Structure 1
Amino acid sequence: MKPTQFAKGFKARPDTTSSEKRTALDRINAIDEIVNQEAGNDKQVTGRSSAYTEEEFHADSAMQESEQFKAWRRQNRYVHGQVVELPLKAIKPSPFNPRHFYLKASIAELAVNLAKQGQQQAIHVIPDHENPGTFFVSDGGRRVRALKEANKETVKAIVIDLPIGIESYKLGYDLNVQRDSQTVFDNAIVWKRFLDEKHFQSQRELADHLGLDESTIAVALAIAKLPENVMHEMVARPDRFGSNMAYQVSRFHTARGADATLRLINKIASDDLSTRQVADIVKGRASAQETPKPASRQRYAQRLEIKLDGLAVGDLKTYGDDRLELRLRGLSKDKRDDILQQIEKMLQADTVKR
């Protein structure tokens, strides 16, 4: 099916609820499995699983598709899960995209990969019925950006019957969570917008809809008060700036402002500060210039390396006058039990003497 064969002008069905027989995520997982099977790919998509058979998927899709999509699909002879090529200029971001931040370095790296190997996995798109011939990205915004950077003109896509709204957001959010690509900073920006635009009337309603604890929403909204340029400095280091660390940074920003916060972020990264150390800075127990140092570990007085059959299996360390530390590893279960029994006998003998 050529891109120009897509029907024009049909309306999306109303936003559906979680009471459907299958969730949107179930259906997308099923699509990917069927597409991979048809392509002869025996590898399972990382982080995804589904109990669907191909027959179940097609039957379920037929039950749930909107009348408009059914008419469009028949007109274009489109089969659920079919991969088509669409012009990149026809693809646009969804207003309910769960991602907000896209790292330039990550996009550039993917663009090089796509230029060499081509697009291996289709994106998922939703027709924009108000502007026929254009499509919202439901899943695959990073690939779209990388393909454009690689100067490609088309993108492999699967067209899905899903209303643009909270349901399409939840689909993208769930997929990103599976891939560990959803960050607290994306959540902060998007969730604040959802509440500002009255898609949800309260933090509680948003938390219930996403199946999250309300405290998770509250932390993200606190982080949302940070300027985006400050968030950008943390987005690139998800290993250092998780939700707890970002929350402490947001508290510091409230008290000290953007310039001091940027300096603190640099210090967190360079000095490998812990969340507790940053919390002490926020509470005034330490300064950002002189952060508290963790207590140094006690130095052992003597160390004896232990070998069995010529191989080092551990060591015996003494500390001060009353502490002994034995560490052994790589032992067979029988050898371990034998050593344990000997130690117990020694201790019991010493107790009897006393």
Structure 2
Amino acid sequence: MKPSQFAKGFKARPDTTSSEKRTALDRLNAIDGIVSNDHSNQPAANGRSSAFADDDRQEHTLGPESDDYKTWRRANRYVPGQIIELPLKAIKPSPFNPRHFYLKASIAELAVNLAKQGQQQAIHVIPDYESAGTFFVSDGGRRVRALKEANKETVKAVVVDLPIGIESYKLGYDLNVQRDSQTVFDNAVVWKRFLEDQHFQSQRELADHLGLDESTIAVALSVAKLPENVMHEMVARPDRFGSNMAYQVTRYHTARGTDATLRLINKIVSDDLSTRQVADIVKGRATAQESPKPAGRQRYAQRLEIKLEGIAVGDLKSYGDDRLELRLRGLSKEKRDELLHQIEEMLQSGVAKR
């Protein structure tokens, strides 16, 4: 991508202005509505005249089209919202992808599911208008990686009308936040790059564009000072390492270095340390070897690590005589729903027996 196009895309039609009638997320929801109604059963665009979109329908359903998208759509006889199959080799990551870290274990598990069940949900892509036949991933980078690992050659996709830039970034960011899969570590790496590449001139400008408090940006940029190998150790446990915990680990790393920090991370996981406990370690009120539990904090009696297909996904803890706590993260939606159904059946069966 040429720098001029990159800059133009980044500034094009920002969805933070009052003149923008629909946000990127609104537009994507409208597209998904089209897909679920009558376009999901259509074949891939194949040159038939019926594949032309009705301009009036497009205007009222999704809002005005960009000139580049309209030209591409008409040239390729594409219906907005239509699911088509594209070669995986034609798909490339967006320079404004909100996610930086992809866990190998998670990709491997999804690859197994895709190999068995096929791709159930289309990804969203944006045409690269300066490189005919290629597309940027707007949403679905994890599925693309898993399909490649499963040795697939094509991907089901919906082509959306967004500029590569802040709008496409915010769309991916908002979707990840909804799924609870956007981490402070992804933010740290990406936001640091935004500022280094001078797409924003200050933390405040970045915060204004994203609609976030400047303190949120500041915490993430502090975390960005950590080496990536240290971040990787925490990315795998988002239930333990949120923004506050990551910030305390960053402070510890500044004072003690990488090796000591990796040991602290292991202790946080094994001993279930709280953010306050880690803050006490950072301040020297406790040591990483022995850190007292705060008064009133109940220690679990037993902890069972739970694995699915050899991958750690959470734990089951017992407290006292009458409390169980189950925490699972990183599951596919299908696996989550399956486990929830099994737990509900087990509990209902227990009530019936009583």
TM (normalized to structure 2)?
0.74
Matching residue of 1:160: 160
Q: 1:233/1:297 Cα in 2 relative to 1: closer, same or farther (>3 Å)?
A: closer
1:312-345 CA distance string (max 9 Å, x none)? xxxxxxxxxxxxxxxxxxxxxxxxxxxxxxxxxx
Q: 1:39/1:135 Cα in 2 relative to 1: closer, same or farther (>3 Å)?
A: closer
1:229-287 CA distance string (max 9 Å, x none)? 00000001000000000000000000000000000000000000000000000000011
- Does the Cα contact within 8 Å between 1:162 and 1:168 map onto a contact in 2? yes
Give matches, 1:9-20, under 5 Å: 15-18=12-15, 19-20=19-20
Q: Post-superposition shift, 1:158?
A: 0.8
Give matches, 1:71-82, under 5 Å: 71-82=71-82
Give matches, 1:101-112, under 5 Å: 101-112=101-112
Matching residue of 1:331: none
Give matches, 1:258-337, under 5 Å: 258-295=258-295
Aligned residue identity for 1:64: P
Cα distance in 1, alignment partners of residues 158 and 105 from structure 2? 27
- Does the Cα contact within 8 Å between 2:277 and 2:292 map onto a contact in 1? yes
Aligned residue identity for 1:278: V
Cα distance in 2, alignment partners of residues 149 and 67 from structure 1? 36
Secondary structure of the residue aligned to 2:138 is strand
Give matches, 1:20-31, under 5 Å: 20-31=20-31
Q: Post-superposition shift, 1:151?
A: 0.6
**Which runs of 5 or more structure 1 residues have no equivalent in the other structure?**
1-9, 42-53, 299-354
Aligned residue identity for 1:17: P
Matching residue of 1:255: 255
Matching residue of 1:325: none
Q: 1:176/1:187 Cα in 2 relative to 1: closer, same or farther (>3 Å)?
A: same
Aligned residue identity for 2:280: D
- Does the Cα contact within 8 Å between 1:30 and 1:57 map onto a contact in 2? no
Higher mean C-alpha displacement, 139-148 vs 157-166: 157-166
Matching residue of 1:205: 205
Cα distance in 2, alignment partners of residues 291 and 126 from structure 1? 51
- Does the Cα contact within 8 Å between 2:86 and 2:156 map onto a contact in 1? yes
Matching residue of 1:183: 183
- Does the Cα contact within 8 Å between 2:97 and 2:172 map onto a contact in 1? yes
- Does the Cα contact within 8 Å between 2:40 and 2:82 map onto a contact in 1? no
Secondary structure of the residue aligned to 2:84 is strand
Matching residue of 2:309: none
- Does the Cα contact within 8 Å between 1:123 and 1:156 map onto a contact in 2? yes
CA radius of gyration, larger in: 1
Matching residue of 2:328: none
Matching residue of 2:126: 126
Q: Post-superposition shift, 1:296?
A: 6.3
Equivalent residue pairs, number? 278
- Does the Cα contact within 8 Å between 2:252 and 2:261 map onto a contact in 1? yes
Cα distance in 1, alignment partners of residues 14 and 65 from structure 2? 14
1:162-210 CA distance string (max 9 Å, x none)? 1111111111111111111101100000001101111111111111111
Cα distance in 2, alignment partners of residues 185 and 297 from structure 1? 28
Cα distance in 2, alignment partners of residues 264 and 22 from structure 1? 46
Q: 1:183/1:165 Cα in 2 relative to 1: closer, same or farther (>3 Å)?
A: same
Cα distance in 2, alignment partners of residues 56 and 217 from structure 1? 41
Q: Post-superposition shift, 1:297?
A: 7.9
Q: Post-superposition shift, 1:58?
A: 2.4
Secondary structure of the residue aligned to 2:107 is helix
Cα distance in 1, alignment partners of residues 296 and 75 from structure 2? 73
- Does the Cα contact within 8 Å between 1:84 and 1:156 map onto a contact in 2? yes
- Does the Cα contact within 8 Å between 1:27 and 1:57 map onto a contact in 2? no
Aligned residue identity for 2:75: Q
Cα distance in 2, alignment partners of residues 101 and 122 from structure 1? 21
- Does the Cα contact within 8 Å between 1:100 and 1:189 map onto a contact in 2? yes
Matching residue of 2:338: none
Q: Post-superposition shift, 1:31?
A: 1.0
Cα distance in 2, alignment partners of residues 40 and 91 from structure 1? 21
Cα distance in 1, alignment partners of residues 297 and 194 from structure 2? 48
Higher mean C-alpha displacement, 114-123 vs 275-284: 114-123
Q: 1:287/1:120 Cα in 2 relative to 1: closer, same or farther (>3 Å)?
A: same
Matching residue of 1:35: 35
Secondary structure of the residue aligned to 1:64 is coil
Q: Post-superposition shift, 1:63?
A: 4.5
Identity of aligned residues (%): 81
**Which runs of 5 or more structure 2 residues have no equivalent in the other structure?**
42-53, 299-354
Matching residue of 2:117: 117
- Does the Cα contact within 8 Å between 2:124 and 2:159 map onto a contact in 1? yes
Q: Post-superposition shift, 1:68?
A: 2.5
Aligned residue identity for 1:209: H
Cα distance in 1, alignment partners of residues 212 and 100 from structure 2? 20
- Does the Cα contact within 8 Å between 1:81 and 1:158 map onto a contact in 2? yes
Secondary structure of the residue aligned to 1:276 is helix
Q: Post-superposition shift, 1:104?
A: 0.6
